[in-house]
Chains A and B, each alone.
Chain A
């Protein structure tokens, strides 16, 4: 599973999954923390829709961690004040970078979580769509 999809599932999904996957790696390997979880900024680059110009919307606070497993490095970056999740994401990223055997079993777990995220979202969307306007023409 590619990194973009994987990180989306781990961040949008239940925090239990990231904890569970990181714990497995911590039990089986030595995880060296290269950079402790810390706050940093990420600048948001946008394209507006009137003239399709690029501009900077502003910055967003992120929590970032870097770890090393063997010769492989992993990065965990997440919006907000999320030290624990940032560390877990870094461990999981390093596990994939090192192509550890454990990662082969994770695809099914990630896909299951992705399904759960989709179902939750659909439920919330259905609720939100109660506010969708149904216009009726008036007889005048």
Chain B
């Protein structure tokens, strides 16, 4: 049997794309991009994070176009990102400058500045709210007016723009080792493909743009036995980070001449992981290592899971899968993993026929 090249299907493909449009609008209901931005916070945050592009507007548009399909929305945004020029790099962002909206610790009850719950599903009953079916514009306005006009006395001087970091407090108390700033310029994984072993900067960049489900699952596996991490959340913060860039023609470090360009919302986590270390006197002592997690928007599970994987990859040397950087870093990217799995749907007629030919030949040779 000879192989033949085939073509065709153009009309069928065009009709399929029309069918996709029909599926999206057949119920004659339209979802405004502004409505998605305003009401689908978790989804928008997740798409921005996995796309590695912070734009609530573009993420909402991608969600609309993809009909809420996350992997498709991320694919769209990544593709769009590749068409835009990158003109600037920000000044180094330090999370001490975060305007905090939520900040908790599972390690210490009394953290400097206090525990601020902010907005979270953690304290809800997770019961379906059937009142939302009949939620009206008027009831929304009434609730908002009551909430915002309520006079709140400022009882103490908690400055949410200058909350001390828990890790800094512990370093001052000598409970965590001091570390000096590493000035090594990071490698950008969007400019250079990963080469193993990776640098810490590359690992953090890949982890923060990882698919939420994949990062969470591998973080969970690292705790369950396919790793050796037993963390406690030292500090979890959600808040806004101010961004500045230097003047393009002013190479000095005069920050007052910078452009402030706005702010982005992130979730940041430091996890404390206990480890046993051998001291010089052959005694074993308990110490803590820090796992670091951060991602766009409010996505606490992902940021915690990232901190687990960061610690696992940074310090792991016991042969667990979650300590293997190739295993973790090459399988958590949404576009890469969904793209590869998805490509299995594409025509493999020639390669599959080749396999069938081999099978037929072997059977014939063995007289079956």
Q: Which residues of A contact B (CB under 8 A)?
A: 2-5, 7-8, 11, 39-62, 64, 75, 77-81, 122-123, 125-133, 135
Contacts and interface: CB of A to CB of B under 8 A. Distances in A.
B117 interface: yes
A135 B109 CA distance: 8
Given A50-B291, A129-B154, A42 B118 contact: no
Which of B154, B183, B260, B266 counts the most chain A CB atoms within 10 A? B260
Contact of A129 (B91, B152, B168): B152
Nearest to A123: B152
Interface string B115-130: 1111100000000000
B97 to A, nearest CB: 11
8 contacts: A3-B256, A11-B262, A43-B188, A47-B92, A49-B165, A52-B180, A53-B182, A127-B152
* Interface hub of B165, B185, B292, B310 (most chain A Cβ within 10 A): B292
A133 B117 contact: yes
A41 B179 contact: no
Interface in B104-143: 109-110, 114-119
B94 interface: yes
Contact of A81 (B55, B91, B119, B209): B55
Contacts of B89: 42-43, 45
Nearest to B96: A49
Interface of B: 49, 52-58, 81, 84-95, 101-102, 109-110, 114-119, 147-148, 150, 152-155, 158, 160, 165, 167-168, 179-186, 188-190, 200-202, 204-205, 208-209, 242-245, 247-248, 255-264, 266, 268, 270, 290-292, 294, 296, 310, 314
A123 B310 CA distance: 37
Chain B residues touching A, majority SS: mixed
A46 B262 contact: no
A3 B291 CA distance: 37
B296 A58 contact: yes
Q: Which 7 A-B pairs have the closest CB atoms?
A: A79-B262, A61-B55, A50-B290, A55-B201, A58-B52, A2-B256, A8-B260
A42 B260 CA distance: 12
A39 B89 CA distance: 15
A56 B81 CA distance: 16
B161 to A, nearest CB: 8
B56 to A, nearest CB: 8
B54 A61 contact: yes
A128 B259 contact: no
Nearest to B271: A50
Given A52-B182, A60-B55, A75-B259, 4 more contacts: A4-B257, A50-B310, A79-B263, A131-B102
